[in-house]
Structure 1
């Protein structure tokens, strides 16, 4: 490791260390099924105040401030890019209440808790209270997928996190602008003029930049391969110009810029969002590692008993009161209100923005600003750990959790899909059959399977399907190109290893075949849609078999030489869809789901 004589780490090595720890923590959290923020917090504290290996102020130097400012600007732009007003209008009444009533009420209650419980001044409390509206969209999504809540409470929590992300950022930015102007202006008139000028310039710049980019992209003035670079260049330019007029007003400008682009209905919007999500993952993890490593023991020592009481007051008073008052006189059942009221994990966005504003307030002479960072870390760590371990059992106790086994979405109604769905249902795996052709759903409906009439890629499916209850997708229509589109589009959300499709029909020329890099993992033992349905017509059917100590996978294969394996369910409830010839562990109590030829008797070992 490159280290200078004074113990400082080389800047290049410092950047590499931050990137490796940030991404590595998120990967390890995925492997261990833990909240990534907990591991990032631990990594930052270990290399920073504990071991002293990395000190951002010493090793990064004057670049740290601008780096964090730009990273937070991009994070807030991403927040604005998620706020589609059309989706908010179409959202359930509960979601609108949580945003329109809950956001300002949560800001007020958080500010009061910060002032009267944590002991911060009104200026710091107001700024930090605005940031605390954010419930952490990057944290709530994996928690919801792990808990597999029912659709309505999951939607309430997810949409609240998505929409309140930019709303909280706007509240904090506006509050900070007021504090900044009041602290630096010589007279009240001057202060009001500075504030109005800064907010107006930031709003106009952000709106104009968003409108200009949307117009340029829609009219093809920018080639596809340059859209993302142009987007980030304009983002940085907008941030810099607005910041030059009024310090930190650039954060407001880029948030509004993202809001305008989100509502411009761009054809390339999905690609832009996907790339910026990847960039945000890197930036959020990097900022979090930097802030955690910057902590000093004397700063952490400020977390006294009042900090603990403050965290408890937010979790047990401010959050429940905000949600319960917001949902008064709605049709949301009381069990769902209680679940939402006691579920409010905060994420890295809160820490990143709070850390930046805390430093800015301290630089203005407000000593309370230095306490914002440690309080943000304490709140985030407490809520993430608490909800990470209690959301699932709490949801089960309230009867709002889905099945123990992640379900399967079967895209395409057919006789084969119906037979496969019935076999999965027999071993208690949730199944949903989807098709845009109502006639094709008849066999599934008559077979007692849940169905959804519509396109899986449509907005109706996004709002009408309990996506959180399902962990795997099988694209099984008679259209190979559509199957590939579905698998490719859903892979980032479900994970490429959980998206499957039937074998594509052979092309006369390989030049006309779809690229093998697109689509999902194969399923169906190398048989196409037409071959599988012909097998059903010929009398093939699905059988489920539970292996035992006496009846092993070897015995099953000897007894069923022609059978085609499609899935196995482990004793722990892990469902795995199989490709042709795929090897897998098969301990006792493993359940096999296979297609067998006509005339084969049901196995002696029952599936359950």
Structure 2
């Protein structure tokens, strides 16, 4: 599988397949054959699922932050702010409504589904993200999807905590709601931003300004892994959102010396580790599918899942971009290419491990089907659509 991760992208360039589709297919084949007795069902391995997906997300967030060439700003990141402030809340509410009325879920489980389906996944979205640092592959669509994925994996967390609170019967408690607003929303976000900036600034100074012999000349890309774990652990100790801190730290490190070659080395290391984790998770996901993850899925569940993927996110995305200056084609792709994946698995596992939601069979089935459909639909269409958009831009400019 490691060899496949190294060589497959080259062989798949001319085929309507992605490495993600291939890994899921291999997982399905191997675990269906009976060669392995192990059953990688997330419903059985709930804690392991939470921790493994948590690791994959934070590694991916470091890579996302390092490869953004554009400096952070209110206007330059306007697409990002629109997607976060409008598209994400609309998606959460719409999915929660579908969960209650369409799937018959209790309100807490519907809220957890909405929160889990809101983030654009930073792990599986490599094909629609910007290229490595200074590569120039940063059009508005790729930038918007990369920066959105970097931030909304953290900003969906307060809604996951709200769903957990609902499952514990805390929505009727004024004290519990006050705690949610002040701590889960206010403090945790501020701690994530603050600690992330401090860690990023410390690493930036050490790497590029600390001495005449910059540490960037003495170290290697593993420093990116160190920055990831230190930012995450320090923020968790401060009871903040570690996901947010890792992305902020990465963006801060990049801002210290934007054109330094060492950014590419750190990004490449993060990218390699991320691809290995993706391989492992997708093979295990294929194994879970082979062992009955979707057994409890009904036709209604499948229809709601497709509506989440093909109606809710695109409509919410387009509404968030009303009045933006981008051509409609770019807005449409920004809205459509909201890939769901590893982050959604993490939030479902986290919510179920910390709340009391009852039987989760159908919830896992719906989430698993959404992720499978996203891997296939977005995997097959993303590259051709982005290439067609690039040709349209060239023709328009010429």
Say whether residues 1:242 and 2:232 are aligned partners.
Answer: no
Tell me which of 351, 356, 371 is aligned to 2:341: 351
> Residues 272 and 52 (structure 1 numbering): CA distance in 2 closer, same or farther, change over 3 Å?
same
* Greater Cα offset, 197-206 or 309-318: 197-206
Tell me which of 215, 221, 229 is aligned to 1:228: 221
Structure 1, residues 511-561: CA drift from partner, whole Å, max 9, x if none? Answer: xxxxxxxxxxxxxxxxxxxxxxxxxxxxxxxxxxxxxxxxxxxxxxxxxxx
Q: Are 1:48 and 1:293, in contact at CA under 8 Å, matched by a contact in 2?
A: yes
Three-state SS of the structure 2 residue aligned to 1:236 is: helix
Query: Which stretches in structure 1 are left out of the alignment for 5+ residues?
Result: 1-16, 145-153, 404-464, 470-608
Q: 1:351 & 1:249 partners in 2: Cα distance?
A: 20
Q: RCO higher in 1 or 2 (8 Å CA, sep ≥ 6)?
A: 2
How big is the shift at 1:254? 1.9
Q: Are 1:110 and 1:132, in contact at CA under 8 Å, matched by a contact in 2?
A: no
> Residues 177 and 217 (structure 1 numbering): CA distance in 2 closer, same or farther, change over 3 Å?
farther
Q: 2:182 & 2:322 partners in 1: Cα distance?
A: 40
Q: Name 1:131's counterpart in structure 2.
A: 119
Q: 2:156 & 2:103 partners in 1: Cα distance?
A: 18
Query: Which stretches in structure 2 are left out of the alignment for 5+ residues?
Result: 132-137
Three-state SS of the structure 2 residue aligned to 1:86 is: coil
Q: Name 2:206's counterpart in structure 1.
A: 216
How big is the shift at 1:304? 1.6
> Residues 182 and 303 (structure 1 numbering): CA distance in 2 closer, same or farther, change over 3 Å?
closer
How big is the shift at 1:212? 0.7
Q: 2:92 & 2:291 partners in 1: Cα distance?
A: 30
Q: Name 1:555's counterpart in structure 2.
A: none
> Residues 252 and 86 (structure 1 numbering): CA distance in 2 closer, same or farther, change over 3 Å?
closer
Structure 1, residues 269-290: CA drift from partner, whole Å, max 9, x if none? Answer: 2332233223222222222223
Three-state SS of the structure 1 residue aligned to 2:146 is: helix
Say whether residues 1:314 and 2:329 are aligned partners.
Answer: no
Tell me which of 29, 39, 57 is aligned to 1:72: 57
Q: Name 1:540's counterpart in structure 2.
A: none
> Residues 203 and 50 (structure 1 numbering): CA distance in 2 closer, same or farther, change over 3 Å?
farther
TM-score (norm 1): 0.51
Runs (4+) of structure 1 exceeding 6 A deviation are 61-64, 92-96, 181-186, 391-396
> Residues 88 and 382 (structure 1 numbering): CA distance in 2 closer, same or farther, change over 3 Å?
farther
Three-state SS of the structure 2 residue aligned to 1:299 is: coil
Q: Name 1:47's counterpart in structure 2.
A: 30
Q: Name 1:175's counterpart in structure 2.
A: 159
Three-state SS of the structure 2 residue aligned to 1:300 is: coil
Structure 1, residues 122-161: CA drift from partner, whole Å, max 9, x if none? Answer: 431242132257795313369x9xxxxxxxxx93432222
TM-score (norm 2): 0.73
Structure 1, residues 568-598: CA drift from partner, whole Å, max 9, x if none? Answer: xxxxxxxxxxxxxxxxxxxxxxxxxxxxxxx
> Residues 91 and 235 (structure 1 numbering): CA distance in 2 closer, same or farther, change over 3 Å?
closer
Q: Are 2:222 and 2:269, in contact at CA under 8 Å, matched by a contact in 1?
A: no
Alignment of 1:103-502 (within 5 A): 103-120=88-105, 121-132=109-120, 137-140=125-128, 155-179=139-163, 188=176, 195=184, 197-221=187-211, 222-244=215-237, 246=239, 249-266=241-258, 267=260, 268-295=262-289, 297-330=291-324, 332-334=326-328, 336=329, 339-340=332-333, 343-344=336-337, 346=339, 350-364=340-354, 365-367=356-358, 371=362, 373-387=364-378, 402=391, 466=394
Q: Are 1:291 and 1:355, in contact at CA under 8 Å, matched by a contact in 2?
A: no
> Residues 315 and 235 (structure 1 numbering): CA distance in 2 closer, same or farther, change over 3 Å?
closer
Compare the two structures and name the one with the higher helix fraction: 2
Q: 1:392 & 1:209 partners in 2: Cα distance?
A: 35
Q: 1:171 & 1:38 partners in 2: Cα distance?
A: 28
Structure 1, residues 181-227: CA drift from partner, whole Å, max 9, x if none? Answer: 67689962665665355444443322211111111112145242425
Q: 1:331 & 1:65 partners in 2: Cα distance?
A: 39
Structure 1, residues 288-319: CA drift from partner, whole Å, max 9, x if none? Answer: 22333345644311222123212332344223
